[in-house]
Structure 1
Amino acid sequence: MNEPWILGQKIIMLEPRRLAARSCAAHMAHLLGEPVGRQVGYRIRHDHQISKQTRIEIMTEGLFTRKIQQDPFLEGVGLVIFDEFHERSIHSDLGLALCLDASSGLREDLRILVMSATLDTGRIAKLLTGAPIISSKGRSYPVDTRYAQPSGRPGQHRSGRTQTIVEDTGRAIFKALEQQAGDILVFLPGYREIRQVHQSLESRLPDHVHVHPLFGSLSQKDQDKAIRPSPGGHRKIVLSTSIAETSLTIQGISLVIDSGWMRVPIFSERTGMSRLETVPVSKAVADQRRGRAGRLGPGTCFRLWTEHEHQGLVAHGRPEILTTDLCDLALELAAWGVADPLQLSWIDPPPQTAFQKAIHMLKNLDALDSYGRITAHGKEMNGFGIHPRLAHMMIQGKRLGQGCLACRIAALLQEKDFINFPYDEYDADIHLRLQVLDGFIRHHKLGIPKNRVHLNVLKSVARTSHQFQSQLRATDEKTDLWQTGSLLALAFPDRICKRRDNTGTGYQMSSGSGAKLHPNDPLLKYDYLVAPTLGGAGREMQNRSATIFLAASYREHNLLQDFSGRLETLEKISWDNASQSVKARRESRLFDLTLKIDPIVDPCPDRVRSCLMDAIKLYGVNILHWPSQLNSLRARILFLAHSPQFDALPDVSDAGLTNHLERWLEPFLDGISCLKEIKPSLLTSAFLALLTWPQKQLIDTHAPTHLVVPSGSKLPLEYGEPCDDPTAPVLRVRLQEMFGLNQTPMIAKNNIPVMLHLLSPAGRPVQITQDLESFWKNTYPEVKKDMMGRYPKHYWPEDPLNSTATRRAKPRSRK
C-alpha cells in the first residue's frame, strides 16, 4: 500500500462470494487494528462499508463487471487482485478478460494480480504475457484423511440421490462426534440437503452441540453465527455448501466431513437451457475442503467415498464458462463493444455453439440488433446487473403496468426456493411464492405454516425485490398475480409449456424439449405453463424430460395475445403411419410448440398425392396390398427377366417399382389419400399398364401359369414370391401322372426346366428333380419298392416310360 506506484490509488480485490468478501475485509481490517470501512472496506449486493479513506476495496466478481463497464479506465485504481481464481467462475474469467483489454488499450499502468492455492500458474502466466510467478507456502497443519470403507458389493457405486447423501452424512456426523473432539464442518451439495440433514439431527443431538447452516442467501447475522467460535463447553456442526471451501476460516473447525458432491449449473447446447446438476467433486475441490480442517491446527477429514473411488475423480472441474448459459456474458461483451469473444484474451474462450445460442436469445429479447450490436433496450437491461431474461421482464413489466410484480418474480428467481416441501409432495406454483412474499412484505404474515418457510431466504427475496423496484422506479404499482404467466413468458419464451395429455405429467416446451411436473403437483390442472426453473440429471435433459421446479399457469388467450406477432400458421400435409393415410391439418405454432390443430377439409390434391407417393417410396411397394394373382405375375416377369433372351421386360422388382412410381402408379392416385383406398383392382390396373400387349403374350407363353402333364391334368406352376434372384418355378405333381414322359418340361423358350416335386399318392414329395430322365433310370426302381409297400393298391409299373399316366390308383382298363 505504500509502494510509489500505488500511492493515491485503490486496490480492488475480487472474491467469488459475498461472505468471502465480508470475511476477508474483516480479517484485513483486524490486522490493521481498524474497523471495516476505514482503509479496508467491502462492497457486495445489498451492503457496503467503504469511506473516503478506503484504500483496499473488496468486492464480488459480478460487481466488478458492473464497475469496469461503467468506468473502463478504472480511474483511481492501481491494482486489481483476482483471488481464488481457481474456482473459474464466469464472472472471474470475464472480469480478467475485460481487465486485460483495458490495460492493453486504456490503462497500460494498471497492474493485475491473480491468486489461488491451486492455480494452473503456467497458463495464467502465459495469458498475462509472461508475468512472474510468486509462490508462498503459507501456514497449514497436518490433516488425517479417512475414506469410507468399500461396501463389499460388486458394482455398488456412490449415489447422488439426496436421500442417500443425507443418510450417509448423518451417520458420519455421529461417528465423528463420538470419535473426535472439536467443531465439525460438513460439505453438502446444496440447501435441500442442508435442510434435510439439519432436520435429521435436531432431535438426536445433545444440548451442548449446535447446528448452523451456511449458504449464500442466508442472512449476514446467521452466517456470522456459523463462523464465530463456539462458547466454552459447546460444539457446533456447520452444514455448508461450497461457500466455505475458500477465503473463509471458521473458528473452531478441526473436523471436516465431505459428502463428495457439489451442485453446478450445466448448459445443454442441444436444448439451449441450463440445469442444476449434482456431480462428484474434483480432486482439487476435495483438497480445498480437506484443507479447512487444518487451518487452525491438526485436523481430520472424513471423505464419504472410498480411496479407490478417489482415484477416479477428475483432477479439476470444468470452468463455468464452458458449462453454463452465456446470455449474461454475451450481453456484457456487446456492451463492451465486442461482437466476437475471440477479440479478447481468455484462458478458455466461450464455446461457439453456446455463445451463438446466447446471441440468438438476446436478439429475441431485443437486446441486440440483427448485426449483434447492443440496442438501447439492451443497454438498459445490462444496467440491472442480473440475467438478461429477468432484466427484460422487469423493463417490459413496467411498461405493462406490472413493474412491481416483475421485480418480485425476478427476486424469486434470483434466490433459492424459500418454501420447504415433504419428500413425497411438491407445488411448483410461483403464485404460491408470490402470495407468501406479498403477505410478508405488506403484513409480515406468511399465510402458510412457518415450518414450511425458510425465513432467511424469504427476507433476502424481499430485500432483492425492494432493490429492483428502486432501480426500476416501480415502487407504487399494484400487482395482478394473473399476469405472472405473461411476465414470465417475456423472459422465457422458450419455456412456454403445453400439457401433452390429460392423464400424464408431461409437457411440451416451445423450445422443442420436454418437461414434467411432480405427479402430485397442483399445477397439473393447467394446460399451459411457463417454467423458468428446470432441473434433473443429465440423461433426463438429453433423452427424456426435465423436471419443473418452478412454474406459473398461463392462460391460453393471454398467450395468443402476448405472442400474436410471433404465431405461425402452417398447413401441414404429412403421412400418418398409424392410420396408413395422409393427414392434412392446419397448425397454429409458437416456435416449436403446436398450440392448435384443425383438419383441412379440402387439401391440395397435388400435395396429398405427393405425400402418399413419398410414403410409398419410404416404406417400399410392399406396403401396398398386392393380390396374390398380381404377385404371381410379378414373380413370372422377374423369372423371365433373369432368363436369357428376355431383356425387354420392365423392371418389376421392389426397387424398380419404387423408383418408377410416377410412371405406373401416380396416374391412378387421384382422390386417394390412404392405402386402403388403393384397391386390388386399382393396383392391378396400374401394374398392367406397365406391359404392352406383346409383352403380356410373351409372358403367358414362356412363363405360363399352368402346365398340362401326361395324365391330362392342368397343374399350376409356382413361381414363389417376387424377388431379385428368382429360381425355376415348381411343378407339384403325383408321380403316377408323369408316367410316359421322358424329359422334364421346359419353359422360357425351352431354356429352363421346371423344378419337379414328384409326389406320393398322399401328396408327399418323394423326389425333387429337374432331370426326369435320370430319375426314371436311376431312382425310380428304389422309389417303386417303397411305394409298393406303402400303397399296394396303386399302380407301380416296371417300365414307367411305356406306361399310361393316371390320376387314379390304377389306369382305367381298355375295353
Structure 2
Amino acid sequence: MNQLPIHALLPSIREALAHHDQVILEAPTGAGKSTALPLAMLDWPEIAGRILMLEPRRVATRSVAQFIAERRGQCLGQEVGFRIRGESRVGSQTRLEIVTEGILTRMIQQDPELKGVGLIIFDEIHERHLTTDLGLALALEVQASLRDDLKLLAMSATLSGLPLAELMPEAKSLSSEGRSFPVAVDYRPVKGQQAWLEHMGRCVLELLGPDSPAPAELAAGSLLAFLPGKAEILRLAEFLGARLDGERFSICPLYGELPPQAQDKAIAPAPAGRRKLVLATNVAESSLTIEGISLVVDSGYRRHAGFNPRTGVSRLALKRISQASATQRSGRAGRLAPGYCLRLWSQEEHDRMPKADEPEILHSDLLPMVLDCAFWGARSLQELTLLTAPPKVHETLGWELLTQLELVDARRKITPLGQAAHRLGCHPRLAHMLLKAKLLAEKQQRPELATLACLLAGVLEARGLPRRGADIGGYLALACQGLTGSQVKSWQQKLKLGGALAEAVSHARDQDIGLLLALAYPDRIAKARGVDGYQLANGTGVSLAPEDALAGHPWLVIADFQQTEGRTAGRVYLASRFDVSLLERELDFLVTRQQECGWDEAKGRFYAEHQAKVGQILLSTQAIANLDRSQIVAAILAQLRRKGLGLLNWDESVTQLQLRLALVGEHYQDQDWPSLTDEALLASLESWLAPYLTQVNNLAQLARIDCHGLLRNLMSWEQQQKLDALLPTSWPMATGTRARLHYDANGRALLSVRLQEALGMSQSPMLAQGKIPVTMTLLSPAQRPLAVTADLASFWQGPYHEVKKEMRGRYPKHLWPDDPANTLPTKFTKKKTLASGAASRND
C-alpha cells in the first residue's frame, strides 16, 4: 500500500485539508485514492468526526469497505463499515463509512447538519451519476449555510470536461500520478455480417488458446470481458461454458443484480490451478481491483437508458462507449502487472468515439431528484448548485407528475403526503401507491391491501428476478424472500402494518393489484388495440407477447415497459389486469369529464359531445343536442389552425393578393398596409373570418366563402385603388391583349406573351412607379418559351437575332422583323397582319 502513487501525495492532501474546506484531487487509475487514501485518513487527527466516502456502485462499495477493514485487521462494522440500499454494516465505533451516493442524499435530508461527520469524499466523481451531482449540490449547500467546518474532497480519475473548478472556485487542487502498468492494445473489429457477441466469444477462446495473440508472459493470466448488460453476459457465459474445460476455467459473471456472494467470487483470486474469466458490465470499470487480471476483452458497448419525456420511461439502446471509458476498461489489465487489451472495434472507429460520457442528468428520469429538491425546500433544480443544468422538459415533467400524485402543491411546495413519501425511501410513484393503499385499507377495513402494496413495490424495485411472464401477480411470492423480503418488511414497519406476507400473497386478487398499480402509474392504464397492442393513458403504444397470459385482456395497468431502438411500440415486462369499473369508484378522480367540440375530419363537419377520459383514452361520449353557435365557430377556427388555410377557398387569386400586398409593403413601408401572411391571417381568424361563419356547418359551406373578397376588404378603398395601380393584375399590350401579371415569392412580377405582341416595345414594363421591372417570358407562336428577360431593350439588340434566325425557318408565316423595337406588334400571321393593315388604309 505504501508504494501506491497516492502515498507520495498524502502530506499534501493532509495539509490541504488542514487549510481548505474543499479539495479537488485528480488521481488516475491505480493511484490508490479509493483504498490507500481513506485508510491513511483514519490516522489523521486533523479530521474531526466520521469520514463518509461515496462510491458510485454497490459492488465497489462493499469491496472497498471489506478491503480497508482487512488492512485495519478488523471486521466490517467496527472502525470501517458500509451502507448500501437494503444492507448496512455500520456500528457505533465506525469512523469510515463507504456509502452509495443515494445514501448520502438521504443522510443529508434527514440531518442537514450531518452531526458527527467531518469529511465527505466523493470518489469517481467523473462518472457523473445523477445521485453524485445531487449529493455534491446538497453537501455544498450544507457547508455554505450550516457547517463551515465540514470538509469536502472531490476525487476524479480525470478532470477533463468536469466543471469542478467552476463549481468550487476556492478549492485546493492536487494531482497524483496513476499506477498502471503498460497495457498492449489490439483492435479486432467484427467482420462482415457476423454477430458481435459471437465474434467476442471467438476472440476470448483465441486469447485463452495456444495461439493467443497476447504476449506469452500474459497469456496465462485471468481474463476480464466487458459487456453491455446481464443478458449478453449470460449468453456469452453459455457460449464459453460449452467450449471450455470447467476444470481449468472458472466463469464468473459480475453485474449489479448478482447477490453479494457471487460478486465476491468474481472479485476474489482465481482458485488454485484454474484461470478465471470475469464477464462484467461497466461496474468493473473503476474502483475495483480484480485479482489476477492480465487480459481484457472489450466489446465497446454499453446499455444506455435515455429518458423519453413523452412516454415517461427510458428508451434502452446499445451505444458505443466513450474514449475515456475505453481507457478505464483497458487499464483493468494493468492494475497489478503489465497487461493486454483486445478491443472489438477498429482504431479508426475509436478516434470517432466521444471523448467522455454525458452526465446522467441530461438523459435521466428526474422525478426522484425533483422530490428530493422539494423535500429540501427548493422550488426548482436551478436553486441547487449542480455541475450540469438538467433539461427543462425533464424537470417540468417531474414537477407535473409530483403535482398529479399530490406530493407537491401547485406552488411546488411539498405536501404532508410528499414528506411521508420521501421518508419511505422508494420511487415517488411507489411511495404514493403505498401511502394511498394504507388509506384505502383503513377505509375499507382490509389491512391486507396495504401489505399487498408493499409486495408490489418489492417486485418493482427488485433486481434480477427470473422471468415468469408479464403478470406481476406471478412474482409476489418472490418478494417475500431475501433482500427483497427485507425491504418489504421495512416498508411494513414504516407504515406500521402487520400481517404475514405469505397470507397477503395467497389472498391477492387481480382487481386489487390493478387498483394499486393504477395509484402508482395512472398514466399507464392501458386499453387494448389491435391484436397484441395497447394504448397507454399517456398516449404511448406498447405491445404484449401473444402467448402471454395477459394477452387479449381488454384493460391492463402497465407497471414496467421498455422502449428499444428499432421498435415502434414499447415491450411490456410487468403488468396486471385492470377492472375498468374502478374508474367509476375508487379511481374516479383519475377521470376527466369535459365538453369537447371539434371537427370530424372523416365526415367533414362539426361535432360537440360530452367526453369522459382517463388520460388520452376515451371512455365514453354523449352527443350535445343544443349547440352553441360560438362553439361551432371556435371549432372551425381551431381546425383551420391545425390544418391550415387550404381548407378555405384558397385559390390563385388569394395567393396573388397575398404576394402583391407583401411586395407593396416592402417598397412602401411608410404606409399602413395590412399583413396577409398565413401566420398573420391564422392569428386573426376571429376578426376577418369568424363573422362570416354564422351559417357554416361543414366543409362544403366553408369552401364557398369568397376569401379573396374578404381579404381585399381588409384594405381601405384608397388602398385597393393604389395597390391596383402600383401592382396591377394584368398589363395592357398594344395589340389589345391584357397579359396577366403573376407575382412570385421572390418579389418578381412575371408576364408571358407571344414575342410578336411585344414588338414595338422599347423596354420592359415597369411597376410600382418604376421600382419593379416586369420579367417577360416571350413565347413562340406555339406558346413555347423563347426567352426570359427583364431588360427588353437589351434582348432586342442581342439575343433576339439568334432567336430570329432559328424561328424564321420554323414559323415562316409569322413576323420576325430586323428592327423589332420599331415594328408594330401583332397577334396574327404576316398575311393577316398585311390584310389588316391594308383594310386600315382603305378606311
Q: Does 1:114 align with 2:167?
A: no
Q: Does 1:467 align with 2:490?
A: yes
Question: Partners of 1:110 and 1:574 in 2: how far apart?
Answer: 62
Question: Partners of 1:727 and 1:318 in 2: how far apart?
Answer: 58
1:589-600 correspondence to structure 2 within 5 Å = 589-600=613-624
CA contact (8 A) 2:189 2:343 kept: no
Residue of 94, 97, 100 corresponding to 1:57: 97
The Cα offsets for residues 463-485 of structure 1, whole Å up to 9 and x where unpaired, read as 43333333333341633343222
Q: Does 1:432 align with 2:474?
A: yes
1:554 maps to amino acid: F
What is residue 796 of structure 2 aligned with on the other side?
none
Question: Partners of 1:606 and 1:462 in 2: how far apart?
Answer: 60
What is residue 229 of structure 2 aligned with on the other side?
190
Q: 3-state DSSP class of the match of 2:283?
A: helix
Residues 1:356 and 1:654: Cα distance change in structure 2 (over 3 Å): closer
Q: Does 1:491 align with 2:520?
A: yes
1:22-33 correspondence to structure 2 within 5 Å = 22-33=62-73
How far did residue 489 of structure 1 move?
1.7
Residues 1:196 and 1:466: Cα distance change in structure 2 (over 3 Å): farther
The Cα offsets for residues 756-803 of structure 1, whole Å up to 9 and x where unpaired, read as 99xxxxxxxx9999x999748715999xxxxxxxxxxxxxxxx999xx
What is residue 76 of structure 1 aligned with on the other side?
116
Q: Does 1:564 align with 2:588?
A: yes
Residues 1:77 and 1:3: Cα distance change in structure 2 (over 3 Å): same
Q: Does 1:584 align with 2:608?
A: yes
CA contact (8 A) 1:83 1:114 kept: yes
Residues 1:616 and 1:260: Cα distance change in structure 2 (over 3 Å): closer
Residues 1:603 and 1:144: Cα distance change in structure 2 (over 3 Å): same
How far did residue 250 of structure 1 move?
1.5
1:29-44 correspondence to structure 2 within 5 Å = 29-44=69-84
Q: Does 1:127 align with 2:154?
A: no
Residues 1:129 and 1:390: Cα distance change in structure 2 (over 3 Å): same
Residues 1:224 and 1:775: Cα distance change in structure 2 (over 3 Å): closer
Q: Does 1:372 align with 2:403?
A: no
How far did residue 341 of structure 1 move?
3.2
Question: Partners of 1:338 and 1:662 in 2: how far apart?
Answer: 45
1:591 maps to amino acid: G
How far did residue 28 of structure 1 move?
1.0
Q: Does 1:265 align with 2:319?
A: no
What is residue 452 of structure 2 aligned with on the other side?
405
Residue of 571, 589, 597 corresponding to 1:547: 571
CA contact (8 A) 1:613 1:666 kept: no
Q: Does 1:419 align with 2:466?
A: yes
CA contact (8 A) 2:637 2:685 kept: no
CA contact (8 A) 1:212 1:237 kept: yes
2:465 maps to amino acid: F
Residue of 220, 226, 244 corresponding to 1:181: 220
**TM (normalized to structure 2)?**
0.69
What is residue 15 of structure 2 aligned with on the other side?
none
How far did residue 24 of structure 1 move?
0.7
Q: 3-state DSSP class of the match of 2:337?
A: coil
Q: 3-state DSSP class of the match of 1:247?
A: coil
Residue of 531, 539, 552 corresponding to 1:512: 539
CA contact (8 A) 2:647 2:699 kept: no
The Cα offsets for residues 397-454 of structure 1, whole Å up to 9 and x where unpaired, read as 2222322222222222223352348xxxxx43323333x537xx4xxxxxxxxxxxxx
Residue of 337, 340, 357 corresponding to 1:317: 357
CA contact (8 A) 1:121 1:133 kept: no
How far did residue 310 of structure 1 move?
0.9
Q: Does 1:778 align with 2:807?
A: no
More displaced stretch, 344-353 vs 516-525: 516-525
Question: Partners of 2:558 and 2:140 in 1: how far apart?
Answer: 38
What is residue 649 of structure 1 aligned with on the other side?
none
Q: Does 1:292 align with 2:329?
A: no
Question: Partners of 2:271 and 2:495 in 1: how far apart?
Answer: 45
How far did residue 557 of structure 1 move?
0.9
Q: Does 1:533 align with 2:571?
A: no
Residues 1:459 and 1:217: Cα distance change in structure 2 (over 3 Å): farther
Question: Partners of 1:380 and 1:221 in 2: how far apart?
Answer: 34
1:81 maps to amino acid: I
Question: Partners of 1:322 and 1:663 in 2: how far apart?
Answer: 46
How far did residue 377 of structure 1 move?
1.4
What is residue 242 of structure 1 aligned with on the other side?
282
Q: 3-state DSSP class of the match of 2:173?
A: coil
2:487 maps to amino acid: T
Q: 3-state DSSP class of the match of 1:289?
A: helix
CA contact (8 A) 2:228 2:318 kept: yes
Residues 1:335 and 1:676: Cα distance change in structure 2 (over 3 Å): closer
How far did residue 668 of structure 1 move?
9.4
More displaced stretch, 288-297 vs 516-525: 516-525
The Cα offsets for residues 508-567 of structure 1, whole Å up to 9 and x where unpaired, read as 332334333345544341233322323224686xxx543333322322111343432342
Question: Partners of 1:240 and 1:265 in 2: how far apart?
Answer: 18
Question: Partners of 1:663 and 1:198 in 2: how far apart?
Answer: 72
How far did residue 148 of structure 1 move?
1.9
What is residue 797 of structure 2 aligned with on the other side?
none
1:170 maps to amino acid: G
Residue of 45, 63, 85 corresponding to 1:4: 45
Residues 1:292 and 1:339: Cα distance change in structure 2 (over 3 Å): same
Count of residues in Structure 1 that have an aligned counterpart in Structure 2: 670
Q: 3-state DSSP class of the match of 1:198?
A: helix
Question: Partners of 2:358 and 2:402 in 1: how far apart?
Answer: 25
CA contact (8 A) 1:11 1:56 kept: yes
Unaligned runs of 5+ in 1: 157-162, 422-426, 442-457, 635-652, 691-718, 730-755, 758-765, 783-798, 802-815
Question: Partners of 2:52 and 2:827 in 1: how far apart?
Answer: 107
More displaced stretch, 558-567 vs 371-380: 558-567
Residue of 491, 509, 520 corresponding to 1:480: 509
Residue of 256, 259, 262 corresponding to 1:216: 256
Residue of 174, 198, 214 corresponding to 1:167: 198
Residues 1:604 and 1:245: Cα distance change in structure 2 (over 3 Å): same
2:618 maps to amino acid: T
What is residue 329 of structure 1 aligned with on the other side?
369
Question: Partners of 2:650 and 2:151 in 1: how far apart?
Answer: 81
Unaligned runs of 5+ in 2: 1-41, 213-218, 442-448, 655-675, 714-738, 754-780, 783-811, 816-823
How far did residue 288 of structure 1 move?
1.3
Q: 3-state DSSP class of the match of 2:418?
A: helix
CA contact (8 A) 1:776 1:800 kept: no
Tell me which structure has the larger Cα radius of gyration. 1
Question: Partners of 2:126 and 2:834 in 1: how far apart?
Answer: 96
Question: Partners of 2:494 and 2:510 in 1: how far apart?
Answer: 21
Question: What value does the CA root-mean-square deviation take over the aligned residues?
Answer: 4.6
Question: Partners of 1:594 and 1:59 in 2: how far apart?
Answer: 47
Q: Does 1:502 align with 2:559?
A: no
1:484 maps to amino acid: I
Q: 3-state DSSP class of the match of 2:91?
A: coil
How far did residue 175 of structure 1 move?
2.2
Residues 1:415 and 1:146: Cα distance change in structure 2 (over 3 Å): farther
How far did residue 206 of structure 1 move?
1.6
2:494 maps to amino acid: Q
Question: Partners of 1:42 and 1:240 in 2: how far apart?
Answer: 23
